[in-house]
């Protein structure tokens, strides 16, 4: 077992989780919002699999990708104009935690592990989803998208969360399902943990060299427990 496979190589005092594709499966609600917008513009709807590949870089980028796919690249703002208010009302209709997330968060809380959320989803929708799913009380803080300049992989919000959890960045794990999460961890001097159950292809994640990769929430529980065993 090499250093990248052993969580004993890391001391983890706190954890920052991505939201979409890491804690919750939200693709259905996001796809519904995109398709509502496309329908309002008289365009064909798209599959959830298409939308799955567009998630992770924030709503404006999601709408840009949808617009390009639909042949109206210069009208992405029209898609956002319809998708945003629809999603605000329906962002928790079908969104649910992935299998094992409840146990993962319960274990972290029982161990006294400070936890936070950092997402490129609009901040107000992050708040709504955490409250709707009963997850809010697990976290010291949660941050979502406010503007393009500070979204992930910008390290600023991640470092703010470290301060909120009173943990040095080098002993904070950033857990996510995307290359953007790996880059954010690297930019902030944190430990990157990639999860394989999310929206991005595993080969793409592996190619970016995360510090750790896990296949299940149960495996992540074991890695985090081992990192604090001493």
Given a contact cutoff of 8 angstroms between Cβ atoms, the answer to whether 115 and 108 are in contact is yes
Cα 45 to Cα 38: distance, rounded to the nearest angstrom: 6
Q: Choose the final residue of a domain: 36, 65, 90.
A: 90
Average pLDDT, the chain: 93
**One domain for residues 133 and 34:** no
**One domain for residues 83 and 136:** no
Predicted confidence (pLDDT) per residue in 33-66, tens digit: 999 999 999 999 999 999 998 998 888 999 999 9
Q: Choose the final residue of a domain: 50, 72, 90.
A: 90
Q: Choose the final residue of a domain: 65, 90, 115.
A: 90
**One domain for residues 173 and 129:** yes
Q: What is the 3-state secondary structure (H, E, C) of the chain?
A: CCHHHCHHHCCCCEEEECCECCCEECHHHHHHHHHHHHHHCCCCCCCHHHHHCCCCCCHHHHHHHHHHHCCCHHHHHHHHHHHHHHHHHHCCCCCEECCCHHHHHHHHHHCCCCEEEEEEEEHHHHHHHHHHCCCHHHCCEEEEECCHHHCCCCCHHHHHHHHHHCCCHHHEEEEECCHHHHHHHHHHCCEEEEECCCCCCHHHHHHCCCCEEECCHHHHHHHHHHHCCC
**One domain for residues 85 and 177:** no
Predicted confidence (pLDDT) per residue in 179-192, tens digit: 999 999 999 999 99
**One domain for residues 58 and 99:** no
**Annotation marks residue 13 as catalytic:** no
- The pLDDT assigned to 7 comes to 43
**One domain for residues 85 and 161:** no
pTM for the predicted model, two decimal places: 0.90
Cα 210 to Cα 10: distance, rounded to the nearest angstrom: 13
**One domain for residues 142 and 103:** yes
Q: What is the pLDDT confidence band of residue 229, given thresholds at 50, 70 and 90? A: low
**One domain for residues 35 and 46:** yes
**One domain for residues 115 and 195:** yes
Q: What is the CATH classification number for the domain harbouring 76?
A: 1.10.150.240
| Count of structural domains, the chain | 2
Instruction: Tell whether the model's pLDDT for residue 161 goes beyond 90.
Output: yes
Instruction: Tell whether the model's pLDDT for residue 150 goes beyond 60.
Output: yes
Domain interval for residue 11: 3-25+95-227
**One domain for residues 21 and 32:** no
**One domain for residues 211 and 173:** yes
**One domain for residues 100 and 80:** no
Q: What is the CATH classification number for the domain harbouring 10?
A: 3.40.50.1000
Given the residues 13, 18, 177, 211, the one annotated as active site = 18
């Amino acid at each position: 077992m090499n250093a990248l496979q052993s969580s004993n190589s890391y001391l983890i005092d706190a954890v920052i989780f991505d939201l979409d594709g890491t804690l919750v499966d939200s693709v259905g609600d996001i796809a519904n919002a995109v398709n509502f917008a496309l329908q309002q513009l008289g365009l064909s709807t798209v599959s959830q699999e298409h939308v799955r590949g567009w998630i992770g870089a924030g709503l404006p980028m999601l709408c840009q990708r949808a617009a390009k796919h639909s042949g109206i690249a210069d009208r992405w703002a029209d898609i956002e104009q319809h998708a945003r208010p629809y999603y605000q009302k329906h962002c928790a209709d079908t969104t649910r935690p992935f299998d094992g997330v409840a146990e993962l968060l319960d274990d972290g809380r029982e161990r006294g592990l400070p936890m936070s959320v950092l997402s490129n989803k609009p901040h107000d929708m992050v708040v709504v989803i955490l409250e709707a799913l009963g997850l809010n009380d697990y976290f010291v803080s949660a941050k979502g998208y406010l503007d393009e300049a500070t979204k992930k992989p910008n390290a600023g919000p991640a470092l703010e969360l470290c301060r909120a959890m009173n943990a040095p960045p080098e002993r904070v794990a950033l857990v996510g399902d995307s290359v953007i999460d790996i880059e954010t961890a690297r930019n902030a001097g944190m430990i990157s943990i990639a999860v394989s159950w999310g929206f991005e292809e595993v080969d793409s994640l592996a190619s970016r060299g995360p510090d750790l990769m896990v296949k299940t929430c149960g495996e992540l529980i074991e890695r985090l427990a081992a990192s604090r065993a001493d």
